[in-house]
Amino acid sequence: MAYEVLARKWRPRQFDDVVGQNHVTQTLKNAITSKRIANAYLFVGPRGIGKTSLARIFSKALNCDNGPTVTPCDKCSSCVEIASGTGLDVLEIDGASNNSVDQVRELRETVKYAPTHGSYKIYIIDEVHMLSAAAFNALLKTLEEPPSHVKFIFATTEPDKILPTILSRCQRFDLRRIPVPVIVDRLKVIAGAEKITVEPDAMLAIARGCEGGLRDAVSALDQLVSFKGSNIKEEDVLSVFGLASRSVLEDMAGKILKGDVKSIIELIASIDESGKDMQRFVLELMGHFRNLLVWIHVKDASSMELVDAQVETLKNQSATTGPERLLRIAEILAETESRMKYALSRRTMLETALIRCARAATVVSIEDILKQINELRAGAGVGRAGDMGTERQGDMGSGGIEKRRHGDTDIGKETEKRAGGEPERGNVSVRETETKYEPARKETPKAEPGDELALLQSNWSEIVDKIGKMAVGTKSLLIDARPLEVDDVKVTIGFEQEFANEMERLEAPRNRMAVEHVIGATLKHVVAAVFKLSESFVKENAGKAAPPAKQKAAAVPAAAKGQPRTKRQLIDDPAVQKALDVFDGTILDVRE
């Protein structure tokens, strides 16, 4: 007797033999039991998952001598002929080679004839999407209103190529890819019946390689028996199909998470020398990191089609990383896989990609920084960093991390102090300016009401420095300003005409409150700041020594006062330089 390949020998013959498609088999059984059999059915899904086998089983169930029945006998002449593909009442048509309108017209002529000895005349058209548009249109009327004894069963891998008018006349069933554990269980049954010894990891490698198609898995097992006989090991499967072992995948993932670049390069060299498919390796590595990401979030492997050993690996590796890093690694691998098909050197591309992955796995993420900031602030009794608006990171060792809210009336919650009792560049709320002031870094004596103006003028450079630390950018705005008048409730600060813009910027709530807080702390009582232009500013302050900030501003040539400044002068402007320092910026262009 001629040898029969395992894929045909173990082809399902009953509904219960079909694995992984319970939603389809149960529906068809119910239709037979309730005698609600439609005119046309469409089975959709990738290769090797049971579309044609289901069509044959359904045909046997309808035309069995004991039928219609959900358990065809496989012994009567109808069942035997349908199983062998020689039945006169069940015609299997290849849509790829019978796709013209003339062949569909011939089919329409034959549907009028009654079945030979079965209950129905059934047309099974495989790869139906290959029919031409004219052929589909010629089939429409017959498909919608066929004779009562005619049934159509279509199978396709590409339903999007079928006309919507055809789809609307069929009951559609979407078959799923078969999960890896289900394929492994089926291979165990076949191997036991055929007296073949297969290692568990070898079965897993076969199931991984077939991409959800049971027929491909059984064909691969048949090929391996021809190659190695009845004793099959994992390395045999890997050498035949160019796959990397599960241990190699998990080992590579572990090295990436540790950032061990040297070991990554060595392992890639080993994979290349053994002739593995590097593009397939990237896909499987991406699948592993996907499973790791899912495990971190849901702690449940039931939806991931994994064996127990793989789940244990996920548990161990998930403790060494976080979701942000895994997402970045997955993005790098997805980008690499799409570009690898066009690469001249796949090994070089894989090496560079995995080095990038190793860096992404070890670089500190923004979430880690925020967590550390929150821990530091929690220890100091300050609000969480995540509740602030924009952020600025300074020297971690000296406690120079600040959070500021821009565009809001609150400069902050409270004034922070450094370990040595020095006021932090913290934030001050409106309420605090009305009730309490922290002492300045250098204690100033309590001034009499008549001496307050002199006190502000003599300490103006220090006051400007403090304001600049509380509200970034305000120091440069106050360089060319001087206190003109002080009373019990307000302080008047004067500006020359050419600095009107600076005065307007100080009207911003955040800047105004910083000015009022520092001046109020110096004078020991609450004051309101009033900014105004003073034409006599130069005369009033003639002969007085300019503060250091004033001397610095005097670097601008006197001829430039009141005139448009040059690009060089704009670049050297203290406010511009302060912005560059704060945001680590670079000047690309200066436009007037």
* Cβ density class 233-243: b for 16+ within 10 Å, e for less: bbebbbebbeb
CATH of region 6-174, choose from 3.10.20.90, 3.40.190.10, 3.40.50.300, 3.40.50.720: 3.40.50.300
The whole-number pLDDT of residue 170 equals 92
Are the beta carbons of 487 and 450 closer than 8 angstroms? no
- DSSP designation for 423: B
CA-to-CA dists, residue 302 to 21, 214, 286, 308, angstroms: 18, 20, 19, 11
The residue written with tokens 């498919």 in the block is: 277
Cis peptide upstream of residue 68 (ω within 30 degrees of 0): yes
Q: In one letter, which amino acid is 504?
A: E
CATH class of 246-362: mainly alpha
Give the list of residues 6+ apart from residue 591 with CB closer than 8 angstroms, or none: none
Non-local CB neighbours of 322 within 8 Å, separated by 6+ positions: 296, 365, 367, 368
Structure tokens at 499: 């600095």
Rounded CA gap, 146 and 169, in Å? Answer: 11
- Closest alpha carbon to 306 in 330, 284, 328, 331: 284
Question: How many Cα neighbours within 13 Å face the side chain of 271?
Answer: 28
The pLDDT, as a whole number, for residue 1 is: 56
Q: How far is CA 370 from CA 52, 322, 401, 410, in A?
A: 56, 14, 11, 21
Please state the separation of Cα 451 from the chain's center in Å: 64
Note down pLDDT in tens along the chain; length 592 residues. Answer: 578 888 888 999 999 999 889 999 999 999 999 989 999 999 999 988 889 999 999 999 999 988 789 999 988 888 888 888 888 888 888 888 887 888 888 888 888 888 888 889 999 999 999 988 888 888 888 888 888 899 999 999 999 999 999 999 999 999 999 988 889 999 999 999 989 999 888 888 888 888 888 999 999 999 889 888 888 888 888 877 777 878 888 899 999 998 889 999 999 998 888 888 888 889 889 988 888 888 888 887 776 767 777 888 888 888 888 888 888 899 999 999 888 888 888 889 999 999 999 988 887 767 667 777 777 767 655 444 444 433 333 333 333 333 333 334 343 333 333 334 444 434 433 333 333 434 444 444 444 555 788 888 888 888 888 888 888 778 888 877 888 888 878 888 888 877 777 787 888 888 888 888 888 888 888 888 888 887 655 444 444 444 443 443 334 443 344 455 565 666 677 777 777 766 666 666 666 5
Adjacency order of strands within the sheet including 482-486: 482-486, 490-495, 528-533
The angle subtended at Cα 438 by Cα 445 and Cα 423, nearest 5°, is 105
Q: Structural domain boundaries of the chain?
A: 6-174, 180-241, 246-362, 368-404, 407-550, 555-592
- The torsion of the CA quartet 41, 42, 45, 46, rounded to 10 degrees, works out to 110
Residue 23's identity, in one-letter code, is H
Nearest one of 476, 477, 480, 459 to 534, comparing CA atoms: 480
CA-CA distance, 369 to 584, in Å (whole number)? Answer: 19
Instruction: Please give the CATH number for the structural domain made up of 407-550.
Output: 3.30.300.180
For residue 327, give the nearest of 366, 300, 299 by alpha carbon: 366
Residue 529 is classified by DSSP as E
Name the helix (H) or strand (E) containing 491. Answer: strand 490-495
In this structure, whether the domain defined by 180-241 belongs to CATH 3.30.300.30 is answered with: no
